[in-house]
Amino acid sequence: MIEDDRILLSHGGGGEKMHRLIEDVFARGFSNPTLSSFEDASVFSIENGSLAFTTDSYTVKPLFFSGGDIGKLAVCGTVNDLAMRGAKPLYLSASFIIEEGLELAILTKIVDSMAETLKSAGVKIISGDTKVVEKGCADGLFITTTGVGVVKEGIDISNRNARAGDRVIVSGPVGDHGVAVLLAREEFRLRAEISSDCAPLNGLVEQMLKYARNLHTLRDPTRGGVAAVLNEIARSSEVGIILEESEIPIREEVRGVSEMLGLDPLYIPNEGMLVCVCSEETTAALVRLMRGHKYSHMATAVGRVVASPKGVWLSTAIGGTRPLLMPEDEQLPRIC
């Protein structure tokens, strides 16, 4: 039993209080045979092969928003980063930096949300850490998750693999996550029915790879949005990418809120959406398959890869073409 209803510095101290927090809150949510709470590291077995490895810190503000919370985000974000290399995510670690005074009920709700998301993604947390810092030295809660997944032989999905002639598919509408988080902030007195798209995409990617093992690039456009990942792909593959503005799925509410705030949805982070580059022949059937999956029923081919001009270009609805540049400044801090 935890006798306090708020997190104290002693919950991070390595003693009885921390043990009880681990047992009552974390082990309850994350329990599995490979998670060894009181060992220095967890050990698991693996067959010959390649592993994917990725890490992200989550500092989203506020901790809860429509469609998700920092915990769901911390699981989905890292699961998705593994899936974007074609890996099957296996295990995560989760490290919590907690501001002294955080309500235990909030932490528990977040851990429960993580547990539910882990279950739906088929992934386990096998290592964790908790640090508590003094009031005013952190903003509520930061979570860092790191993931390990296996990459089957023959799978080679990378920023470097886009080729002239390829098509670019987005799995869903752009900007939902970022706008949902902005709306959850009290300083914006806006109301709109937008939920974060936050979701684990490993199941979707598994289905896509069953259909087409030779996908060239997969990316989940989080910070910097679709614009940033397309620029990264264009640079790494030394190609150009031309997007058809009229094809890009954007919810009316996202468009409306973005306009009011002076934001471009192509630069707004998503957390349950992916960009896929694949060969022309694969595209139509892949889009059909994706539309049958719950997380990508609005999948659309939105662009094509060209040898030149290099860079990313938006072919606008009114017939012009303008460069879609790499974002320079942070337009949306603390969205993920």
Q: Which stretch binds a copy of itself (CB under 8 A): 79-87, 101-109, 252-260, 294-302?
A: 79-87
Q: Does position 80 bind a copy of itself by CB under 8 A?
A: yes
Among 6, 23, 50, 62, binds a copy of itself (CB under 8 A): 50
Binding residues with a copy of itself: total (CB under 8 A): 89
In angstroms, the CA 285 to CA 291 distance is 10
In angstroms, the CA 162 to CA 280 distance is 11
Of 68 and 149, which CB lies nearer to a copy of itself in the complex structure?
149
Name the residue type at position 47. Answer: E
Query: In Å, how far are 32, 147, 165, 221, 278 from 232, measured between CA atoms?
Result: 37, 22, 18, 11, 16
The strand order across the sheet containing 321-323 reads 217-219, 275-278, 167-170, 300-306, 240-244, 311-315, 321-323
Per-residue contact flags (x/-) with a copy of itself for residues 264 to 293, judged by CB under 8 A: -----x------------------------
Q: Does position 165 bind a copy of itself by CB under 8 A?
A: no
Residues 16-35 that bind a copy of itself (CB under 8 A): 16-19
Q: Considering all CA atoms of the chain, what is the largest pairwise distance in Å, rounded to the nearest integer? A: 67
Among 117, 159, 237, 300, binds a copy of itself (CB under 8 A): 159
Match 């940033």 to its residue by tokens.
228
Name the residue type at position 76. Answer: C
Residues 105-134 that bind a copy of itself (CB under 8 A): 126-129, 131-134
Residues 132-151 that bind a copy of itself (CB under 8 A): 132-134, 136-139, 142, 144, 146-149, 151
Q: Does position 158 bind a copy of itself by CB under 8 A?
A: yes
Among 3, 14, 186, 262, binds a copy of itself (CB under 8 A): 14
Residues 177-196 that bind a copy of itself (CB under 8 A): none
In angstroms, the CA 128 to CA 271 distance is 23
